[in-house]
Structure 1
Amino acid sequence: MLKTIRDLLQPPPGMAFDFSQPGGEPALAPQNGISWRVFANPVALFVGGVTAVLLELSEPSVRSGVWDHGGFQRDPGLRLRRTGFAAMMTVYGPRSAAEKLIAQVVRMHGHVRGSTPGGAAYHANDPRLLDWVQATAVFGFTEAYHRYVQSLSPPEKDAAFTEAGPSARLYGATGVPRSWAAWEALLGSTAPGLEGSNILDDFLRIMAEAPILPAPLRPLQRLLVRAAVEITPEPVRSLPQLRGRGLRVGEARLVRALARASVLLPLGATPQVQAARRLARSGGNT
């Protein structure tokens, strides 16, 4: 169990990175901020990441881009770890390395284009789509932490979006929300275009059955997927593919216990620990 949680916080194979170097270089996100707390919790990361993808897959253009080019069907575990590593880099990585990684992703997105089944053209670097992807990620991780780890105040929830702003703008999300109220406004304006599809069903099935956690822990994996559905906001949570697939009676308490216990485990040199070591040589960043 300990090794599994540790692996979820580490870069995927072939992407090893020492977050403790170079000494003193600040990150894009402040060391004393909400993001550093949220991304240190593996349960919040898993649950929030699934919630974010559910929201992404409900937007037709994003759904086509993610499903046709994102790798979820081929290797969902690797896809989640690669996405998690990119997020870790924007929160804990030295700014120069984070900027380099984001630039690489932007170049890759430049080749991701096509048409939805309904005939609408999409391009992964479309600022409108980037705003949605970036906003849903911040919402997912923050809400998972708020619901299952520790309650956040309204100013802390606002800060999560503020802290994500520098990296989001580097990705090209020029209109990304800068507060919780702005996120709710974006959700409200996007809601009329959100829709269900068989892909949502496929994604939930993959996340429940894929060998992301070892076989003995597969029931726990399915529990965390239900926890992600539970915090998905309306109108997506009421889509036919998600209806009735949230937590069962008493399960929220279990998820909270798991999330809070995970921070007590000796996880070793996680990205957060390494980054704190790097910043200790300059007094940190604010």
Structure 2
Amino acid sequence: MYLPHQIVGQIVNQRFDSDVRRHFFRGMEFAAPVGDPGWFGPGSAVWHVHSHMHALIFGLQCAAYMERLDPSIYWMGMHHSRLVKRDENGTAIPVIDPKGALVRLGHSVAFFIGTAYGSTETAERLAQSVRAMHHTIKGTRPDGVAYDADDPDWLRWNYATVAWGIATAHELYHPNPLRGKKIDRYYGEFVRVGHALGGTDLPTTKAETLACLESYVPRLAVTHGTAMATGPRLPLPQSAVDWAVRDTMPKWGKQLIQHRDPNIVERTARRAAVWGVINGLHAASGPAPEFRQAQTRVKSGVTVSHTLPTYRLGDDPVRSRSEVELSFRSV
């Protein structure tokens, strides 16, 4: 006889399978080759952090929110992304397109699960596909400032927001979080992903990541999209998530968006409520099958050496946007 949490788990897993896994995990290998640790392997901090799927997804939301404080990233999205709606002339409107948001989420989750638990070959192909997409994102903001997704400064900011978002969500909402030197292990391991995407001079500890993010403050601003996506007048469920996302931001980020922390009692209660939702979903759905397959792949030991990303800007073949999008369907 099924218990209520088992029924919820079935629903959550079926929804994830139909909306995300079926479309965005195709061609990714987790069960083979036997003995291949992938980029990280058993015992790594990355395997521990990314094993909590719902905390990972929340962390990616936190990273996306912070990213938009960079006007160049905001305009990259407006000009190149399907994340926002467009009018009959194809002009972007600063309103999230639900279908586009699902595609963005699907690609993001697939990438960070695939690079964590996939075979070495799977991780390398995913990184190459994301790099290829970055190569196509170049343009000019309305104020005349040029942007380029291959720019090392942009890559450093983008990497730091993702590392901070995932790690902070983990520290707040994982039932067995890494802290202190242990969470620094995560930052030190995760930098492999940033290097594979072309990043240079990347932070490798929590303190370095926080300092890196703060060094960008003079370049940041509350963009139109950020202003529209936050605030007390949002619907209640969205407002609760919005508060939890803003709660993960560094002090300067909260000041920039005029977010004020409530008193310690209220803040603790709010975090406890969010913790209950995130961990309730995780408990109901159970460990991700990709994580279980990776564990089985190396249960008899690791027989393949780790490889370090060797990508350098300019190494990739030039591909059109349509060719790149086709590659995403096959990885």
TM-score range, shorter chain: 0.7 to 0.9
- Of 66, 69, 86, the match for 2:80: 69
Give, as a single letter, the amino acid of the residue that structure 1 aligns with 2:297.
R
The alpha-carbon deviation at position 39 of structure 1 amounts to 1.4
- Paired residue for 2:118? 93
- Of 2, 14, 38, the match for 2:9: 2
**Alignment CA distance shift 1:110-1:236 (3 Å):** same
Please identify, of 13-22 and 189-198, the stretch whose mean Cα deviation from structure 2 is larger: 13-22
1:190 aligns with 2:190: no
1:41 aligns with 2:52: yes
Q: Is the 8 A contact 1:39 1:45 kept in 2?
A: yes
Distance 1:184 1:14 in 2: 31
The alpha-carbon deviation at position 259 of structure 1 amounts to 3.0
- Paired residue for 1:11? 21
**Alignment CA distance shift 1:30-1:91 (3 Å):** same
Distance 2:230 2:291 in 1: 29
- Paired residue for 1:28? 39
Distance 2:167 2:136 in 1: 30
- Of 237, 243, 246, the match for 2:259: 243
Deviations 1:194-227 (A, max 9, x none): 110111134459xx78xxxxxxxx93x6533321
Distance 1:49 1:86 in 2: 11
Deviations 1:26-59 (A, max 9, x none): 2212321222122122331222111101111001
Paired residue secondary structure (1:265): helix
- Paired residue for 2:206? 180
* Alignment gaps of 5+ in structure 2: 1-7, 85-96, 307-331
Give, as a single letter, the amino acid of the residue that structure 1 aligns with 2:207.
A
Q: Is the 8 A contact 2:160 2:209 kept in 1?
A: yes
- Paired residue for 1:50? 61
Give, as a single letter, the amino acid of the residue that structure 2 aligns with 1:274.
Q
Query: In terms of Rg, which structure is larger?
Result: 2
Deviations 1:115-145 (A, max 9, x none): 1232111111111111111111111011011
Q: Let me know the Cα RMSD of the aligned residues.
A: 2.8
* Alignment gaps of 5+ in structure 1: 210-217
Deviations 1:234-280 (A, max 9, x none): 3222334x636999652211112233334433536522112111122
- Paired residue for 2:3? none
The alpha-carbon deviation at position 189 of structure 1 amounts to 1.0
Q: Is the 8 A contact 2:163 2:187 kept in 1?
A: yes
What percentage of aligned pairs have identical amino acids? 23
**Alignment CA distance shift 1:83-1:119 (3 Å):** same
**Alignment CA distance shift 1:225-1:19 (3 Å):** farther
Please identify, of 67-76 and 46-55, the stretch whose mean Cα deviation from structure 2 is larger: 67-76
Q: Is the 8 A contact 1:50 1:225 kept in 2?
A: no
The total of aligned residue pairs comes to 274
The alpha-carbon deviation at position 114 of structure 1 amounts to 0.7
Normalised by the length of structure 2, the TM-score is 0.74
Normalised by the length of structure 1, the TM-score is 0.84
